[in-house]
């Protein structure tokens, strides 16, 4: 009897020996006679028939001589059986711990993006994610991330390491085939004012323009949806032919999107990336990137002039936004962040983005 794993028997898989048994009946040959012809024990023949012994390469060649059926036939029969056995074992190896790691919302996003097929039961979901991520056990996601150097220990609790690995896989999927121009950071620097001016347009208009200008500067840019309990803000990878820049939009606010975008550009201009850069807000270079984003989006002079006023009204905020060629909501968001005005004031000026990837 073949072993059982998780209640699923391996007996259901046809054994190579069954073909040999049928051939013996057809040739009216006993197992003892075959053993003599092959020069092996009858016990070995019985083991092959019942799937307890494999058909070795040497035995396959001897079977070719005896029956005139090529050795490759017997070898392939055994190889296919071995693969089926391992597939069944792989199916049976799915643990409850792995099943519990799956976040249904995250999985649904993968289905929506046609990255994987929709599966209803947890076992097939686990197998789909294993294949997508190239990992034999989903529980090893954290160890894999640490080895890759993309996550340092922090005090933050409830981090979904599997979700993080999936998010990074999406970055790879969305950018793996895209072609962009040669990397040119000087050109990118010249386009910063144009890029921030796009904040005044709706996403359906500015996103194609944003991707185009980045592409012309050698940057493959994409927005990836944020996942629950995945604290990543951005991902940058510098390859020989291009720079990959992926971003999330947390809370969907437009001002957070634009600040995050310029924050990541700050990392690029500041030389924080060597090959890959994972922005978790746990890095030592965040203050420099924040400073770049703040001062590039909003001129320090105009911002200082605004906050020095005794009464900051919407008219003055809009004037400041116009001087900096940016959306008014970016100014409001900055005032919230700096606690210059009460949170919620002028809230109608803060737009929310719902971007389709």
Residue ranges per structural domain of the chain? 4-92, 96-147, 176-349
Mean pLDDT check: name the lowest of 36-45, 142-151, 181-190, 238-247: 142-151
Q: pTM of the predicted model, to two decimals? A: 0.77
Per the prediction, the chain carries an average pLDDT of: 88
Per-residue confidence (pLDDT) for residue 147, from 0 to 100 = 76
Number of residues that make up the chain:
357
Tokens (6 digits) for 348: 């109608």
The CATH code of domain 4-92 reads: 1.10.260.40
pLDDT in tens, 132-184: 999 999 999 988 888 776 654 444 557 899 999 999 999 999 998 899 999 99
Mean pLDDT check: name the lowest of 88-92, 108-112, 235-239, 298-302: 88-92
pLDDT in tens, 204-230: 999 999 999 999 999 999 999 888 888
Question: In sequence order, which residues have a C-beta less than 8 Å from that of residue 176 and are 6 or more positions away?
Answer: none
Distance from C-alpha of 142 to C-alpha of 151, rounded to nearest angstrom: 9
Q: Bridge-partner residues for 276, per DSSP? A: 237
Question: In sequence order, which residues have a C-beta less than 8 Å from that of residue 338 and are 6 or more positions away?
Answer: 307
Q: Which of 254, 275, 229 is nearest to 349 (CA)?
A: 254
Overall average pLDDT of the 302-310 stretch: 94
Distance from C-alpha of 144 to C-alpha of 133, rounded to nearest angstrom: 11
Q: Which of 352, 350, 351, 349 is nearest to 315 (CA)?
A: 349
% of the chain residues with pLDDT over 70: 91
Overall average pLDDT of the 53-74 stretch: 95
Sheet holding 276-279, edge to edge: 219-223, 243-247, 234-238, 276-279
Overall average pLDDT of the 128-132 stretch: 93
Distance from C-alpha of 18 to C-alpha of 289, rounded to nearest angstrom: 67
Distance from C-alpha of 113 to C-alpha of 258, rounded to nearest angstrom: 24
Bridge-based pairing state of the strands 234-238 and 243-247: antiparallel
SS3 call for 352: strand
**Side-chain half-sphere of 115: how many Cα atoms within 13 Å?**
24
Yes or no: say if 74 and 16 are a contact pair by the CB < 8 Å rule. Answer: yes
């Amino acid at each position: 009897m073949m072993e059982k794993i998780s209640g699923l028997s391996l007996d259901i898989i046809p054994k190579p020996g069954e073909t040999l048994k049928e051939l013996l009946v057809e040739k009216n040959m006993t197992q003892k006679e075959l053993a003599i012809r092959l020069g092996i024990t009858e016990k070995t023949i019985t083991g092959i028939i019942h799937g307890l012994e494999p058909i070795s390469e040497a035995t396959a060649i001897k079977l070719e001589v005896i029956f005139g059926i090529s050795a490759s036939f017997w070898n392939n029969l055994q190889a296919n059986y071995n693969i089926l056995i391992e597939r069944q074992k792989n199916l049976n190896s799915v643990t409850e711990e792995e099943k519990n790691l799956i976040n249904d919302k995250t999985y649904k996003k993968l289905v929506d993006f046609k990255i994987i097929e929709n599966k209803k039961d947890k076992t097939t979901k686990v197998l789909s994610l294993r294949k997508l991520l190239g990992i034999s056990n989903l529980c090893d996601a954290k160890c894999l991330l640490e080895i890759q150097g993309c996550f340092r220990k922090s005090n933050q609790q409830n981090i979904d390491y599997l979700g993080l690995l999936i998010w990074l896989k999406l970055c790879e999927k969305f950018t793996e085939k895209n072609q962009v121009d040669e990397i040119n950071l000087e050109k990118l620097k010249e386009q910063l004012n144009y890029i921030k001016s796009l904040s005044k347009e709706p996403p359906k208009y500015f996103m194609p323009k944003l991707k185009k200008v980045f592409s012309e500067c050698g940057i493959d840019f994409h927005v990836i949806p944020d996942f629950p309990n995945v604290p990543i803000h951005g991902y940058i990878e510098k390859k020989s032919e291009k720079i990959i820049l992926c971003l999330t939009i947390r809370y969907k606010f437009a001002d957070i999107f634009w600040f995050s975008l310029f924050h990541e550009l700050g990392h690029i201009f500041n030389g924080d990336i060597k090959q890959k850069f994972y922005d978790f807000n746990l890095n030592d270079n965040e203050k420099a990137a924040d400073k770049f984003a703040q001062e590039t989006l909003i001129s320090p002079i105009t911002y200082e002039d605004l906050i020095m006023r005794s009464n900051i009204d919407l008219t003055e905020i809009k004037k400041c936004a116009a001087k900096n060629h940016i959306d008014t909501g970016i100014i409001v968001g900055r005032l919230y962040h700096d606690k210059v005005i009460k949170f919620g004031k002028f809230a109608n000026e803060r737009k929310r983005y719902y971007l389709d990837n």
